């Protein structure tokens, strides 16, 4: 039994408050077969830490046999999660909020912050002789409804003192927004890395006028586990989260190694990427450490970020009210704390 495995076992007792003989998963931590789990992801750079944790055997070393299942977006994964087809992974904050409200999907700390990654870009010819505020007030803007893209757009509108309800928002998926910006069908649009690299670097024709950080709104993507998995196998949930954060920490600590590994991830996940895109996107995505995630959860920053996103859903009519997100963060906190104890 390895030192880390002993910590996994002790973590289970701390979370569950039950005896070793009453806890089936403890046998695994003591050297039996690894705990199998399916983890959800998406084929974009947000899924890099999850892939890296598997590639570097962080999951395996924590007693987990993880299979990664890719979905086109987080919302598409929710139904199968409710049915028990997967046990954890990472997801955007909108589907995380929906999953919590519908079947107790538990956010376990912030995997990544995208405040700087989601941007509001405007055509230079639209701004010429005008201003960002004027463009928002009169021009067509491409964005994804009821999303973090809308969250940033509305926050940017307020930053420029424009009433968000008065904007002419054209509901477009990100690839169509970028295409429409190039063709001039919209004057502005929300984008993210790495697909927006050409727009951001084409400074003669486009300008990044705002992002989440500038507008003062926080956009997060949490690690998640299903309520069933966390309840039945708390030590494995903690081990999963610890390994995921270990991968994120490596990315932030060693960028050269991260770039090389990201190129491998592009190939494995079928992403159109190269070294230029890898360096570009890593400059905008703030993958979080376990300590950062713990501090945000304890101090209310995670709840605040999720609430800001949920309020966009309420304004858009997707929700009648903001769900109990304080309860969501509280449900994941013991798992985060147990993950931290694995390192002591």
Q: What is the mean pLDDT of the chain?
A: 92
Domain ranges of the chain: 3-113+220-341, 119-215
Residues 31-56 as b/e (b if ≥16 CB within 10 A, e otherwise) read: eeebbebbbbbbbbbbbbbbbbbbee
Q: What is the pLDDT of residues 49-106, one digit of tens each?
A: 999 999 999 999 999 999 999 999 888 999 999 999 999 999 999 999 999 999 999 9
Confidence of residue 115 (pLDDT cuts 50, 70, 90): very high
CB 56 within 8 A of CB 244: no
pLDDT (0 to 100) of residue 126: 98
Q: What is the pLDDT of residues 118-132, one digit of tens each?
A: 999 999 999 999 999
Does 241 score more than 50 pLDDT? yes
- The Cα 297–Cα 33 span in angstroms is 32
Common-topology check for domains 3-113+220-341 and 119-215: yes
Q: Which of 244, 229, 235 is nearest to 6 (CA)?
A: 235
Within its chain, how far is the Cα of 82 from the centroid?
Answer: 19
- Identify the CATH assignment for 3-113+220-341 out of 3.40.50.410, 3.65.10.10, 3.90.1570.10, 3.40.190.10: 3.40.190.10
The predicted model scores a pTM of 0.89
In the CATH scheme, what is the code of domain 119-215?
A: 3.40.190.10
Instruction: State how beta strands 106-113 and 220-225 pair.
Output: antiparallel
Q: Which of 279, 270, 264 is nearest to 43 (CA)?
A: 270
pLDDT (0 to 100) of residue 290: 99
Does 9 score more than 70 pLDDT? no
Q: Which residues pair with 220 in a beta bridge?
A: 113
Mean pLDDT of 131-153: 96
Q: What is the pLDDT of residues 176-220, one digit of tens each?
A: 999 999 999 999 999 999 999 999 999 999 999 999 999 999 999
pLDDT (0 to 100) of residue 4: 53
- The Cα 238–Cα 7 span in angstroms is 10
Q: Which of 212, 332, 286, 215 is nearest to 46 (CA)?
A: 286
pLDDT (0 to 100) of residue 75: 87
- The Cα 135–Cα 329 span in angstroms is 38
């Amino acid at each position: 039994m390895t030192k880390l495995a002993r910590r996994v076992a002790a973590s289970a007792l701390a979370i569950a408050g039950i005896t070793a003989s009453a806890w089936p998963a403890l046998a695994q931590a003591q050297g039996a077969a690894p705990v199998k789990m399916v983890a959800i992801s998406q084929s974009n750079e947000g899924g890099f830490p999850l892939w890296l944790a598997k590639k570097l055997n962080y999951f395996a070393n924590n007693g987990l046999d993880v299979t990664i299942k890719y979905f086109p977006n987080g919302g598409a994964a929710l139904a199968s999660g409710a049915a028990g087809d997967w046990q954890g992974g990472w997801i955007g904050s909108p589907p995380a909020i929906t999953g919590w409200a519908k079947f107790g999907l538990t956010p376990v700390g912030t995997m990544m912050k995208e405040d700087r990654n989601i941007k509001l870009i405007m055509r230079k010819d639209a701004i010429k002789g005008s201003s960002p505020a004027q463009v928002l007030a009169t021009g067509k803007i491409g964005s994804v409804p009821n999303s973090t893209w809308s969250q940033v757009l509305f926050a940017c509108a307020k930053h420029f003192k424009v009433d968000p309800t008065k904007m002419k928002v054209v509901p477009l998926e990100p690839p169509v927004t970028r295409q429409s910006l190039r063709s001039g069908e919209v004057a502005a649009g929300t984008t993210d890395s790495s697909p927006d690299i050409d727009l951001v670097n084409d400074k003669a024709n486009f300008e990044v006028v705002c992002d989440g950080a500038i507008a003062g709104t926080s956009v997060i993507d949490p690690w998640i586990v299903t309520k069933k998995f966390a309840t039945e196998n708390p030590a494995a949930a903690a081990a999963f989260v610890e390994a995921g954060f270990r991968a994120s920490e490596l990315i932030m600590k060693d960028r050269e190694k991260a770039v090389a590994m990201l190129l491998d991830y592009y190939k494995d996940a079928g992403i159109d990427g190269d070294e230029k895109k890898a360096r570009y996107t890593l400059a905008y995505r703030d993958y979080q450490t376990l300590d950062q995630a713990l501090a945000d959860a304890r101090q209310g920053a995670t709840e605040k970020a999720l609430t800001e996103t949920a309020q966009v859903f309420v304004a858009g009519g997707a929700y009648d009210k903001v769900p109990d997100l304080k309860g969501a963060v509280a449900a994941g906190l013991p798992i985060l704390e147990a993950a931290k104890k694995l390192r002591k």
